[in-house]
Amino acid sequence: MSSKIQKPLPRVDELHRPFWEAARRHELVLQRCRKCASYRYPAGPTCPECVSDELEWTRVSGRGTVFTWTVFHRAYHPAFADEVPYAVVAVELVEGPRMLTNLLDCLPADIKIGMPVEVVFEDVTEEIRLPKFRPVSR
């Protein structure tokens, strides 16, 4: 029943369009300040470090570590009913910012703080590719 219900999709606005266009190509990009070189996520109109508005979109490594996580045992939207329990993780990218995402190919009981992860993309629609993460194969 829930598999026929469509999951909510991100709204692509002008500020975040470069992020979603890169994701469509299976690339992870973040805003980077041209003045102080710090990265930010999510995107914004100014750098939170130096307040500069000289920002650019830069491809990043797509690697990081699990900073923290929680496991959802209840579906807060009917489209997720077949997936509970599922983990939502905060990944700290090697470039610094943290992203909330899903961790694939890993049972919730196997998630560890500091676990190395890498980005993968889920092709949801022709326009939307969602960045998600999986444990790094060693």
Q: Which tens digits make up the pLDDT trace of 69-128? A: 999 999 999 999 999 999 999 999 999 999 999 999 999 999 999 999 999 999 999 999
pLDDT in tens, 11-24: 999 999 999 999 99
Is the separation of the CB atoms in 68 and 78 below 8 Å?
no
Distance CA 12, CA 125 (A): 13
pTM summary value: 0.91
Is the separation of the CB atoms in 85 and 96 below 8 Å?
no
Domain ranges of the chain: 11-135
**Can you read off the two tokens belonging to residue 94?**
């090697």
pLDDT category, 5, cuts 50, 70, 90?
confident
